[in-house]
Chains A and B, each alone.
Chain A
Amino acid sequence: MADVALRDVVKRFDEVEAVRNISLNIPDSEFVVLVGPSGCGKSTTLRMIAGLEEVTEGEILIGGNVVNDVPPKDRDIAMVFQNYALYPHMTVFENMSFGLRLRRTPKAEIRARVEQAAKILDITELLDRRPKQLSGGQRQRVAMGRAIVRNPKVFLFDEPLSNLDAKLRVQMRTEIKRVHQKVKTTTVYVTHDQVEAMTLADRVVVMNGGRIEQIGRPHDLYHRPKTHFVAGFIGSPAMNFLPARLQPNGEALMLRLSPELAFPVPPAHAARYRPSVGKDLIFGLRPEHITEPRGEERDPRYEFSMTVDVIEPMGMETMVFFTVHGKEVCARVEPTAAKPPGQPIRLYANLNHMHLIDPATESVL
Chain B
Amino acid sequence: MTAAVAEYPRAGGASLKRNRRWALFTSYFFLILFAIFFLTPPYYMIVTSLKSDAEVAHLASNPWIIANGVTLEQYRLLFRETDFLIYFKNTVIVTLCVVTITMVVSVLAAFSLSRMRFWGSGILATGIFLTYLIPDTLLFIPLFQIVRGLGLLNSYWSMVLVYPTLTVPFCTWIMIGYFQSIPKELDEAALIDGAGHMQMLLKIFIPVALPGIIAATIFAFTVSWAAFVYPIAFLFSADQQVLTVGTVTSLIKADVYKWGMLMAGALVAAAPPLIVYAFLMDYYIAGLTAGATKG
Which residues of A are at the interface with B, using a C-beta cutoff of 8 A? 50-52, 71-73, 75, 77-79, 81-83, 85, 87-89, 98-99, 102-103, 131-132, 146, 150
Q: Per-position contact with A for B186-203: 1 when CB-CB < 8 Å, else 0?
A: 101111111110010001
Q: List, in ascending order, chain A residues with CB within 8 A of B204's CB.
A: 87
Q: List, in ascending order, chain A residues with CB within 8 A of B191's CB.
A: 51-52, 71-73
Q: Are A83 and B185 in contact (CB under 8 A)?
A: yes
CB of B294 closer than 8 Å to a CB of A: yes
Give the contacts of B272-295 with A (CB-CB under 8 A): 290-291, 293-295
Q: What is the count of residue pairs linking A and B with beta-carbon distances less than 8 angstroms?
A: 66
Interface of B, secondary structure class, is helix
Q: Are B183 and A85 in contact (CB under 8 A)?
A: yes
Q: Please, how many angstroms separate the alpha-carbon atoms of A51 and B291 in the complex? A: 28
Q: Are A77 and B192 in contact (CB under 8 A)?
A: yes
Query: Which residue on chain A has the smallest CB distance to residue B207?
Result: A89
CB of B208 closer than 8 Å to a CB of A: yes
Q: Are A50 and B208 in contact (CB under 8 A)?
A: no
Contact of B208 among A77, A82, A88 (CB under 8 A): A88
Q: List, in ascending order, chain B residues with CB within 8 A of A82's CB.
A: 185
Q: Are B290 and A85 in contact (CB under 8 A)?
A: no
| B interface residues, tally (CB under 8 Å) | 22
Q: List, in ascending order, chain B residues with CB within 8 A of A73's CB.
A: 191-196
Some 29 contacts from A to B, beta carbons below 8 A apart, are A50-B188, A72-B188, A72-B191, A73-B194, A73-B196, A77-B192, A79-B189, A79-B192, A81-B185, A81-B188, A81-B189, A85-B185, A85-B189, A87-B190, A87-B208, A88-B291, A88-B294, A89-B207, A89-B208, A98-B203, A99-B194, A102-B195, A102-B199, A103-B194, A131-B294, A132-B290, A132-B293, A132-B294, A132-B295
Q: Per-position contact with A for B161-196: 1 when CB-CB < 8 Å, else 0?
A: 000000000000000000000010110111111111
Q: List, in ascending order, chain A residues with CB within 8 A of B295's CB.
A: 132
Task: Tell me how far the C-beta of B233 lies from the nearest C-beta in chain A, rounded to whole angstroms.
Answer: 43
Task: Tell me how far the C-beta of B206 lies from the nearest C-beta in chain A, rounded to whole angstroms.
Answer: 10
Q: Are B208 and A85 in contact (CB under 8 A)?
A: no
Q: Are B193 and A98 in contact (CB under 8 A)?
A: yes
Q: List, in ascending order, chain A residues with CB within 8 A of B192's CB.
A: 50-52, 72-73, 75, 77-79
Q: Are A146 and B193 in contact (CB under 8 A)?
A: yes
Q: Please, how many angstroms separate the alpha-carbon atoms of A73 and B198 in the complex? A: 12
Q: Please, how many angstroms separate the alpha-carbon atoms of A333 and B265 in the complex? A: 90
Q: Are B186 and A87 in contact (CB under 8 A)?
A: yes
Q: Are B208 and A98 in contact (CB under 8 A)?
A: no
Query: Which residue on chain B has the smallest CB distance to residue A13?
Result: B117
Task: Tell me how far the C-beta of A138 lies from the nearest C-beta in chain B, rounded to whole angstroms.
Answer: 14
Q: List, in ascending order, chain B residues with CB within 8 A of A102's CB.
A: 193-195, 199
Q: List, in ascending order, chain B residues with CB within 8 A of A146's CB.
A: 189, 193
Q: Please, how many angstroms separate the alpha-carbon atoms of A162 and B192 in the complex? A: 21
Q: List, in ascending order, chain B residues with CB within 8 A of A87's CB.
A: 186, 189-190, 204, 208
Query: Which residue on chain A has the smallest CB distance to residue B187?
Result: A85
